[in-house]
Chains A and B, each alone.
Chain A
């Protein structure tokens, strides 16, 4: 919504209010100011009166004008604009005027003819562009006095304020509406607007036209009609429409636009030139409610859907000689539902009608009459046709105590009443704490005491409300969400310590990409209807693709290594959500530095696993049976925590690396839930010495350590406290077998171990591995 100072001044005398006060007040009452711009017309540009205008002797397109630029001062100025021929008063930049930083008007000779100044166009004055040619001045901007500096014409050098209105303030979609709200805040009364028609056609409208409404027409309508001889808009119209970026070449459209922007009343114009009243033809307007949409028909032809749109061919245009004007109002709530349910096409006025346009239609018609008779050589028919739906007034009971409770400051009852009265609420005075208020019809947004309180807050100004700290009862508010948050924070801190950068990526991805790499997909019946782009057409079922893409981007910025992690949400086929901790490490094992002569080794399985271990702590790796497209079949593993599979890590398949332009790359994805620290109970610590013992087996190459480990654990040997692999060795001599060395640690809670205890444990293991895998001690 754009307003200008002088336009506002039509309804509210703000001549004593500074721009700064205006800016602060608008913001304070919730009409947020986006920008405030004051047009300044450079000095020495004055009103000039064209005395004569003749063709340049040597140039077809130039005219030589004699222009009066002050009492008795006439200058010869050469002008190139075609429309100078029709002009009487123009903007003249005199010698010495500066139009921009390095453009000063000087004496000039144009094709041999002296020129002492320049006739300016709107854009040359720094005003918005208003079509071709020079700016032709008229009295709509004020009395034209030859030689007067143009900057003194405040309607030209206006201040433009762009407001960002919230969705509830349809009542402020007009100059009058903004003025009305400002009036309460600035405590300045609105100027009365009342206009009686001075000069009408003799024929009464009711004699030639008739309005028939169905009983369920839940709207208000008012019609006026005019014979149009000439519809020439004034400079002020065009200028203001340019200020609000609504200027068009169609004079009727401009006229309606100007009216609606000024009054807030929705006005439309129908071309009824074809109806010959002299030949006794009549005009009949009928309304019909069809599934909640009010159809307007003129002589049985449907011309508009009230508040929604108008048939293109029914619109009045510059050729129309007879025009029917319609002011209308529909309750916004009723049309938004209808439009959405029936998916109706709307035009630009729908924005106003759906947010609540001005219901006082006679104001719009009176303003129309005033403009018509002030500026146009056209006449209106006598009287109007109108229909107005009966609506009950909205009355809300206001309790002073409740208002004060919501605000938290004491506001005297008189102040509350005065504010509401200033906002045109009708107050039923009462000596009680509670009193009734009638809400003005244009305030569609006011429905309860909280809304009324907001009005009081707006006008008092939030800055004037004293802040008070809340007294509250302390309470233990820790819960699982908090536990999870701190677990995530801890995990992130360890990942960062291990050299990974934290990444955030979109929860969206490309369905075909997931398919290509054999990841699960969200069931098609549950997928996104309106994706933002094809790359983001589904929910991700893994974060790893996002991380690979990020790594690829980094490579393209000449990064040799990238380590990233993300904790985020992924989805499964049924769209259930799960948080995972995902990591990628690509390129070199460590940074290039003095210790590795600038040639660090590429990252490998071992170094990646070590990094993961430093972040998530204890885990086991088992050969993975998972087969998504990223997985390297011989360097991938399931991650096991507390005997539960909770994720995997893998070297990225070479062909995937190729696609993403990556060198050696490793990734891991682990369920976040499995990484939340669990409660731990301490077990008894033995007071006796323990014994380490190494065993080397020759065993089938294809049997992974994890299998051996599970087998030994299944024996549940009481003395065996821990064991781990310390060496694995393969060579040709061993053939299909390998040598695997285990280190055992044995300890008893009760006494020092003797040889027999040790041998029993060791032999049980040897026998078991022999039976299970044919493993032989080396």
Chain B
């Protein structure tokens, strides 16, 4: 009996154990042979013989099961070891691409306004004088309408210098109440470290019955929006001038680079100018023949936001498909 147990325990692999199993438990195995002897055992001893045989069988079976468990574990362990690789070699075999920081910023801006039930509107990039200037209270020869800044076409069309013409198109196509943003590319004839001939704006316009929309509303949404974009910043409103709004305001946030201590980026003022807004000028409503309405409008440069949010050093870099920059946003 002990030899049999020894035989099981001597098996060093599942294959060897299987051999032992056949030798012991198989149809022609040791146990089968022992059980076969039962029929030759005289009657009175039969019971005792059978009992001892069953007992031995159970013992052997337990011994076998135990050994099987051990060997199975060892076997798996061995296989696992054999499959060992240096996983650290395989980090990021292929990388995903990156959203352009300007587009990602635009997405973030759009998300805010869509969540506040603004619609998205668009319009053509090649515009006519009426939509780009005239209807926006920028009559011919207006000082704010500097020839230097506008790209003209031979037939008198222009490349839109702002997304504001989309306001005009939307107002002409729809009826108030209007609650819209117009994101998109705009064009100005300017090229240096802070200007590129093409950049992106997001324009906003809200129009409702006269008296319903006021400056206090504009102040509320602009402050909230800027804190959504930049975190807990201070927001400052300064009166300013835009031909299509009156009263108008430029909006600054406390400098996010120096915590308003004053640095190179905020020109040591502690403030960063980020957007312009105001109450829609009645001349604009006259141009689209809207009567008895009030509204506010705002506009911002997406590149400026992206540069501030992501600390991009040079604006021009954003338009060169430079993967040294883009890869950082993966």
Task: Flag if B279 contacts A406 (CB, 8 Å).
Answer: yes
Residues 165-202 of B contacting A (Cβ, < 8 Å): 177, 179-180, 183, 185, 187, 189-191, 196-198
Q: Contact: B119 with A482, CB < 8 Å?
A: yes
Interface flags for A402-430 (1: CB within 8 Å of B; 0: not) read 00011111000000000000000000000
Segment at the interface with A among B18-26, B33-41, B68-76, B215-223: B215-223
Contact A507 B185 (CB under 8 A): yes
The yes or no answer to A541 lying at the interface (CB within 8 A) is no
Query: Which residues on the A side are within 8 Å of B269 (C-beta)?
Result: 33
- Chain A residues in 8 Å Cβ range of B208: 472
- Say whether A532 contacts B321, CB under 8 Å: no
Known pairs A407-B214, A467-B216, A525-B154; A454 contacts B117 (CB<8 A) = no
B96 at the interface (CB under 8 A from A): yes
* Residue A176 at the chain B interface, CB threshold 8 Å: no
Q: Is B144 an interface residue (CB 8 A)?
A: yes
Contacts of A405 in B (CB 8 A): 210-211, 214, 294
Is there a chain A Cβ closer than 8 Å to B314's Cβ?
Answer: no
Q: Which of A237-245, A379-387, A554-562, A745-753 contacts B (4 or more CB under 8 A)?
A: A554-562
Question: Of all chain A residues, which has the CB nearest B217?
Answer: A470
Do residues A591 and B220 form an inter-chain contact, with CB atoms below 8 A?
A: no
| Bound CA span A566–B320, Å | 12
Q: CA of A563 to CA of B93 in the docked complex: distance in angstroms?
A: 15
B103 smallest CB distance to A (angstroms):
6
Q: State whether the Cβ of A168 lies closer than 8 Å to any Cβ in chain B.
A: yes
B199 to chain A, nearest CB (A): 9
Which residues from A are CB-within-8-Å of B95?
499, 591
Residues of A within 8 A of B6 (CB): none
**Inter-subunit contact B240/A166 (CB<8 Å):** yes
**Nearest residue in A to B101 (C-beta to C-beta)?**
A502
Given A167-B144, A406-B215, A507-B125, are A496 and B96 also a contact pair (CB < 8 Å)?
A: yes
Q: How far is the CA of A474 from the CA of B298 in the complex (A)?
A: 20
| List of B residues within 8 angstroms of A571 by Cβ | 126
Residues from 93 to 138 in B contacting A, C-beta threshold 8 Å: 93-100, 102-103, 107, 110, 114, 117-122, 124-126
Q: Give every chain A residue within 8 A of B1 (Cβ-Cβ).
A: none
In the complex the two chains form, is A340's CB within 8 Å of B236's CB? no
- Which residues of chain A from 539 to 565 have any CB-CB distance to chain B below 8 Å in the complex? 539, 546-547, 549-551, 553-554, 557, 559, 562-565
CA distance A536 to B188 in the complex (A): 13
Binary contact readout A575-593 vs B (1 if CB under 8 angstroms, 0 otherwise): 1010000000000001101
The answer on a CB contact under 8 Å between B219 and A465 is yes
Residues of A within 8 A of B118 (CB): 477
**Contact for B197 among A340, A466, A504, A536, CB less than 8 A:** A536
Given the known inter-chain contacts A35-B267, A575-B126, please indicate yes or no for A531 contacting B151, CB distance below 8 A: yes
A495 near B321 (CB under 8 angstroms)? no
User: Are B246 and A450 in contact, CB atoms less than 8 angstroms apart?
Assistant: yes
B222 to nearest A CB, angstroms?
9
Interface residues of A in 413-454 (CB under 8 A from B): 445, 448, 450-451, 453-454
Q: How far is the CA of A532 from the CA of B249 in the complex (A)?
A: 31
- Give bound CA distance, A501 to B328, whole Å: 10
Question: B2 interface residue, CB < 8 Å from A?
Answer: no
Asked if residues B240 and A559 are in contact (CB atoms below 8 Å), the reply is: no
- Decide if A155 is an interface residue (CB 8 Å cutoff): no
Interface check A360, CB cutoff 8 A? no
Q: Does B292 contact A (CB under 8 A)?
A: no
Instruction: Give the CA-CA distance A470 to B248 in the complex, in Å.
Output: 18
Write out the residue numbers on chain A whose beta carbons fall within 8 Å of the beta carbon of B120: 479, 481-482, 485
**Among candidates A167, A499, A501, A506, residue contacting B241 with C-beta atoms closer than 8 Å:** A167
Q: Does A529 contact B (CB under 8 A)?
A: yes
Contact among B97, B185, B219, B220 for A496, CB-based, below 8 A: B97
Give the Cβ gap from B55 to chain A, nearest Cβ, in Å: 55
- CB-nearest residue of chain A to B247: A454
Question: CB distance B94 to A499 under 8 Å?
Answer: yes
A453 contacts B247, C-beta separation under 8 Å: yes
Q: How far is the CA of A654 from the CA of B142 in the complex (A)?
A: 52
Q: In the complex where A481-B120, A532-B197 touch, is A469 in contact with B247 (Cβ < 8 A)?
A: no
Decide yes or no whether A187 CB sits under 8 A from chain B: no
Known: A463-B237, A496-B96. A501 touches B327 (CB 8 A): yes
Residues B220 and A530 in contact, CB atoms below 8 Å apart: no
Best-surrounded residue of B97, B220, B320 (most CB of chain A within 10 A): B97
Q: Which of A454, A526, A532, A562 contacts B246 (CB 8 A)?
A: A454
Q: Which residue of A lies closest to B196 (CB)?
A: A506
The A132-185 residues at the B interface (CB cut-off 8 A) are: 166-169
Indicate whether A328 reaches chain B with its CB closer than 8 angstroms.
no
Kindly state whether residue A331 has any CB partner on chain B within 8 Å: no
Q: Is B312 located at the chain interface by the 8 A CB criterion?
A: no
- Chain B, residues 299-330, CB within 8 Å of chain A (1/0): the string is 00000000000000000001111111011001
How far, in Å, is B173 (CB) from chain A's closest CB?
10
Write the chain A residue with the least CB distance to B143.
Answer: A167
Provide the residues of chain A in CB contact with B210, threshold 8 Å.
405
Q: From residue B155, how far is it (CB to closest CB) to chain A in Å?
A: 6
| Contact indicator A485/B140 (Cβ below 8 Å) | no
Per the bound structure, the CA–CA distance linking A382 and B192 in Å amounts to 54
Question: Within the complex, what minimum Cβ distance (angstroms) separates B272 from chain A?
Answer: 13
Residues from 207 to 260 in B contacting A, C-beta threshold 8 Å: 208, 210-211, 213-217, 219-221, 223, 236-241, 246-250
Are A577 and B103 within 8 A (Cβ)?
Answer: no
Set A30, A336, A504, A508: member contacting B240, Cβ < 8 A: A30
Query: Is A325 in contact with chain B by the CB < 8 A criterion?
Result: no
Complex CA gap A477/B210 in Å reads 21
Task: Find out whether the CB atom of B140 lies under 8 angstroms from the CB atom of A553.
Answer: no
Residues from chain A with a CB closer than 8 A to the CB of B3 are none
Contact of A553 among B97, B180, B318, B320 (CB under 8 A): B320
B97 touches A504 (CB 8 A): no
**Counting CB contacts under 8 A, is B89 at the interface?**
yes
Contact in complex: A469, B220 (CB < 8 Å): yes
Report B140 CB to chain A, min CB distance, Å. 7
- B240, A32: Cβ atoms closer than 8 Å: yes
Q: How far is the CB of B160 from chain A (nearest CB, A)?
A: 11
Give chain B residues whose Cβ lies under 8 Å from the Cβ of A532.
151, 189-191, 197
Interface of chain B residues 275 through 300 with chain A (CB within 8 A) = 279, 281-282, 294
**Are B153 and A526 within 8 A (Cβ)?**
yes
Once the chains bind, are B154 and A527 in contact (CB under 8 Å)?
Answer: yes
Q: How far is the CA of A575 from the CA of B127 in the complex (A)?
A: 11
Residues of A456-497 at the interface with B, using a CB-CB cut-off of 8 Å, are: 457-458, 462-463, 465-470, 472-475, 477-479, 481-482, 484-485, 489, 492, 495-497
Asked if A503 is at the interface (CB within 8 A of a chain B CB), the reply is yes
A398 to B219, CA, bound (A): 23
A584 to chain B, nearest CB (A): 9
B320 proximity list for chain A (CB < 8 A):
505, 550, 553
A765 interface contact, C-beta 8 A:
no
Asked if B319 contacts A504 (CB within 8 A), the reply is: yes
- With CB as the reference atom, state the residue of chain A lying closest to B151: A528
| Interface pair A450/B281, CB less than 8 Å apart | yes
User: When the two chains form their complex, are residues B318 and A472 in contact, meaning their CB atoms are under 8 A apart?
Assistant: no
Of all chain B residues, which has the CB nearest A459? B239
A10-33 interface code vs B (CB 8 A; 1 in, 0 out): 000000000000000001111011
The answer to whether B326 and A502 touch across the interface, beta carbons within 8 angstroms, is yes
Complex CA–CA separation, A562 to B210 (angstroms): 54
Chain B residues within 8 Å of A30, by CB:
238-241
Beyond the given pairs A453-B247, A501-B327, 15 more chain A to chain B contacts, judged by CB atoms under 8 angstroms and listed by A's residue number, are: A167-B241, A336-B143, A408-B217, A409-B216, A445-B241, A470-B206, A479-B119, A482-B114, A485-B183, A497-B96, A505-B320, A507-B159, A507-B198, A557-B323, A565-B97
Closest 4 CB pairs of A and B: A550-B321, A408-B214, A408-B216, A30-B239
The contact sample of 27 A-B pairs, CB cut-off 8 A, is A167-B144, A336-B141, A405-B211, A457-B215, A457-B239, A462-B249, A468-B219, A468-B220, A478-B119, A479-B121, A481-B121, A497-B97, A499-B97, A504-B102, A505-B320, A507-B125, A507-B159, A507-B185, A525-B155, A528-B154, A532-B189, A533-B191, A553-B320, A554-B321, A559-B323, A590-B94, A593-B93
